[in-house]
Structure 1
C-alpha cells in the first residue's frame, strides 16, 4: 500500500526537482529558439528572393550582354547551391507590362498566365498571396521588380515561393535539438554532482547523530568544507556532541558525587553518635563528638538546601522580593556578612565603590547568596590573596566586577561552569559540594533582571561580572 509520508533521499528529492526545473527551462528556451530560427530563416529567404529578382533585372537590363527582357532567364538561378537555396526552389517569371509571361525558370501549368497577370500593379516589393491549385489553397510570397529601359517600364520580374518552404528549417532544428540535448545532459551531470556534494556532509552529520543517539560520541567529520553553511553545520554539531559528552559524563558523575557527598556526613554522624552511645568517649570528648556530629548535620542540611533551592528556582517556584537599594550599601553589607561568617584572615577584600549614590532593583537576600558563592569560590582558589570588587555604572545598569588572584579555571572547564552539578577537575576531589553554586547564582541574578557571567580566567586569577538594573525614578 502506498505510504503518504514515504521518505526519499535528499539526493533523489532535489535532483528530480532540479531536473524538472532544468527541463522546463530548456523547453522554454527551445520554443523561443525555434521561433527565432524560423523567423530568421524566413527573413533571410525573403532577402534571397529579393536578391534573385534584383539580379535578374540587372542581367536583363545589362546593355553589354543582353538585348532585352526576352533573352531568357539568367543562368545563375540554376546554381542553387552557390546561393544557399537548398531549402527553397522559387518560380521566376519575366513578364511584359500586360502580364504576358515571356519566360520562366520552369514549365508553366495551365492558367498560370492569368494568375501572373493578376499580380501586376504599379508597386514593387514583397507581397503575401493566396494561391489555389488543384483544389488546394496555399500561402505564397511574391517579390516584384520592374524592368526599366530609358526610364520606361518594359516588364516585370516576379519571384514566387511557398511559405512552407520559406520557413522550413529541418537542419537548424536538428542542430538545436542536439544543442538542447547536450545542455540537458551537462545540466543533469552538474546538478547530480553538486547535489551529491551537498548531500555528503549532511549524510555524515546524520550518521554521526545516530551514533550520538546510541551514546557514542567518538566520530569523525570532515573539517575541510569550503561552503560556509556546511562548515558551520559540521562545526556546530561537533561542538554540540562534545558538550553532550561532557554533560553525559557530568550526569554519570552526579549520582556518584551526590551519593558520596551525602553519604560522607551521614557516615560521620553515625560513627560519632555510635561512639558516644557505646561509651567509647565520655565527658568532654563526648560533647566534642556531638558538636562534630552537629557540624556534619549542618553541612548536610546546606547541601540538601542547595538542591531544593536549585529545583525551586528552576521551576520559578521561589518568589523574588525586589526592593530599591543603594548599590554601594548593598555590596558593603554583603561583603561584611561574608567576612563575619567566614572569619577568613588570609583573604583580603578591596572594594572600589561608586563616587555617587546610585539605586538598583535587587533582592537583598539573593544578592547575599551570590556574593557568598563568588567569595567562597575565590577563597577556595587561593591559599591567600586579594579579591577586588569594582563598581561601575552604565546607562541603565550597574556592573559589579569581582576579581581574585587565585589559580583560575581551566580552559576546558570554563564552558561548563554554569551547568548544574558540574564540578571542575581542580575542585572535584579537593572541595566538597554538589556543583550548584555558580548555576544557582546565575539563576538568582537573572531572576532579579540582571545577570552573572564569567569574563576571563587564567592562572593569575578569575574575573566575574554581576549586572544589576538601575531603579527607575518617577
Structure 2
C-alpha cells in the first residue's frame, strides 16, 4: 500500500496566500462596518441640517407675519438640496396648526394634502414614518411658526431615508482606501516572506549537500534578523563540526584497525616461530609468554568494545548500593596502587571531613577511577597523583589530578569522543581510545558526569560528579 505524499507549498506562496486571505476578510469586515458608520453619520448630519433649515424658514415666516410661500426662490422656497449634498430637494410644507397644508415647494409629495395631528402634536422634532403606497420610510423634520408665543403653524421638511442616507463619494474613497491597503499589505508580506524564505532555502540546499557528504558550506551571515542569523551560524558550526568528526572518524577507524591488527600479527609470528622450531627451549617459552601477553591485551580491547556497545545501547543494568564515599574511594585507590610496579609514582587522597552516603554501582565507579588513574600515570614519567574529594549541596566531586604535561588545547574538545587518541598518546600506549568515552557514559548512567576540569602544562584535572 502506497501512501500519497502531501504536496509541498513554497513558503512565500503559503504565507502570502494565507495572509492575503486573512487581510481581505479583515478589510471586508472593516469596509462593512465603515460603510454602516458612514451611512449612520451622514443620516444624522443631514437630519441636523434639516432641523436648522426648518427653524430658519419658520423664523423667516414669523418675521413676515404671514403663513405662506417665502418670497425667496422659485415658488417662494429657497433651494436647499446643495446644503445637504442631495440630488433632489426635500419636500417642504407650510402647515397650519390644524394640519392643513398651506403650501409646499412641490405640487405632489408623500403628505398629500393633510398631515396627521399626532405628527404635529408629537414633541419630537424628528420623526420616522412609513408613507406612501410602498410604505417607504420617511423622516419628518418640523419647526413651529410662533406669533406672540402662540404656535400658528409648522414648517415641515420631509425626505425618504434612502435619499438621506445615500452616499457616493465617501463610499468611493472607502473602496479606494480598502483596495490600496489590500495591495500594500500583499506587497509587504510578499517581500518580507521572500526575504525570510531565501536564507531558509539556502540552509535546506546546504543540508542536502551535507547529506551527500559535502561539508564545505558557504552561507552568508549578514542577516539582520536574529533568529535567521542564529539558524545560519548554527548550521555552519554544525557542518564544520561534522566535517571534523568525519575526518576524525576516518582516522580513528584506521587507528582501531591498526591496534587490533598489531597484536594478531605479533601473536601469529611468535607462534609460527615456535611451531616451525625456529626457537626451542627457553626462547620458545619466552615467545609463548609474549604471545599470551599480547592475547591479554587484545582481549582487553575486545572487552572494552563490548562494554562500550552495551552501555551505548543501555543494555547494562547497574547494581546500586548505599556506600560511604570516603571508604569506597580509599579502597579503590589502595587496590590500584598495590597493583602498580612504578616505584617513582606516589598517590595521595584528600577525603571529605564528614561521611557522605552515595547510591552508586561500586564496580562501575572503580572502573572510572581506575581508568583515570591509569591515564594520569601514563601522562607522567614520575610524580604524584592527587585524588581530592569535595562536595556542595547536591553533589560529591572526585577530582583526579596529575602533574603531567597536560592535554593540548586543540585536543581537549575531542577527548571524550569514542576511539579518539591524542597525538602524544597515540604512539606511546596501546588502546582503542574508548576509556574516557566509556567512563563518561558510566558516570551519566549513575546520574552523574565526567568532565575535564582543567588542563595546562603543569597538570590535568578530571572531575567525577555524583549526586548525593
Q: Do they superpose with TM above 0.5?
A: yes
Residue of structure 2 in register with 1:61 after alignment: 62
Distance 1:115 1:318, change over 3 A: closer
Contact 1:73/1:105 (CA < 8 Å) preserved in 2? no
**2:27 aligned partner:** 26
The 2-side partners of 1:359 and 1:38 are apart by 83
How many pairs align? 463
1:255 equivalenced with 2:253 (yes/no): yes
**In the alignment, which of 189, 209, 215 is matched to residue 211 of structure 1?**
209
Of 330-339 and 26-35, deviating more is: 330-339
CA distance in 2, matches of 1:410, 1:168: 87
Deviation at 1:244, TM superposition (A): 2.9
Provide the aligned C-alpha RMSD in A: 2.8
Distance 1:149 1:361, change over 3 A: same
When residues 460 and 336 of structure 1 are mapped into structure 2, their CA distance, relative to the original with a 3 A threshold, is same
1:163-182 alignment, distance < 5 Å: 163-182=161-180
User: In structure 2, what is the equivalent of residue 50 of structure 1?
Assistant: 51
Matches within 5 A, 1:105-144: 105-108=105-108, 112-115=112-115, 119-121=119-121, 123=123, 125-132=125-132, 135-144=133-142
Residue pairs, 1:297-312, within 5 angstroms:
297-312=295-310
Residue of structure 1 in register with 2:96 after alignment: 96
Once the two structures are TM-superposed, the CA of residue 196 in structure 1 deviates from its matched residue by 1.7
Mapped partners of 1:110, 1:20: distance in 2: 47
1:234-245 matches, cutoff 5 A = 234-245=232-243
Distance 1:407 1:178, change over 3 A: farther
2:67, 2:94 within 8 Å by CA — same for their partners in 1? yes
- CA shift at 1:179, angstroms? 0.4
CA distance in 1, matches of 2:127, 2:114: 18
Q: TM-score scaled by structure 2?
A: 0.89
Aligned equivalent of 2:399: 401
Stretch deviating more after TM superposition (153-162 or 238-247): 238-247
Deviation at 1:379, TM superposition (A): 2.8
4+ residue segments displaced more than 6 Å: none
In the alignment, structure 1 residue 41 sits paired with structure 2 residue 42:
yes
Return the offset for 1:79: 5.6
- 382 and 78 in structure 1: CA distance in 2 versus 1, 3 angstrom threshold: farther
Equivalent-residue separation in structure 2 for 1:219 and 1:447 (angstroms): 36
1:467 positional shift? 2.3
**More moved, 174-183 vs 115-124:** 115-124
Do the aligned partners of 2:93 and 2:102 also contact (CA within 8 Å) in 1?
A: yes
Q: Is the 8 A contact 2:79 2:89 kept in 1?
A: no
Q: What's 2:336 paired with?
A: 338
The structure-2 alpha-carbon separation of the partners of 1:49 and 1:459, relative to structure 1 and needing over 3 Å to count, comes to farther
SS of 2:114's equivalent?
A: helix
Superposition pairs of residues 315-464 of structure 1, within 5 angstroms: 315-464=313-462
User: Once the 2 structures are TM-superposed, how far is the Cα of residue 391 of structure 1 from its aligned partner?
Assistant: 0.8
Taking structure 1 as the reference length, the TM-score comes to 0.88
Q: Is the 8 A contact 2:127 2:140 kept in 1?
A: yes
Aligned: 1:198 with 2:207: no
Alpha-carbon distance in structure 2 between the residues aligned to 1:8 and 1:117: 71
After superposition, the C-alpha distances for 1:12-53 in whole angstroms (9 at most, x for unaligned) are: 122211111111111111111111111111111111111111
CA distance in 2 between partners of 1:312 and 1:50 (Å): 96
Q: Does 1:9 align with 2:10?
A: yes
Distance 1:314 1:109, change over 3 A: closer
2:230 to 194, 216, 232: 232
Structure-2 change in CA distance of 1:180 and 1:372 (3 Å) = same
Question: What residue ranges of structure 1 are gaps of 5+ in the alignment?
Answer: none
In structure 2, distance between residues paired with 1:52 and 1:431: 111
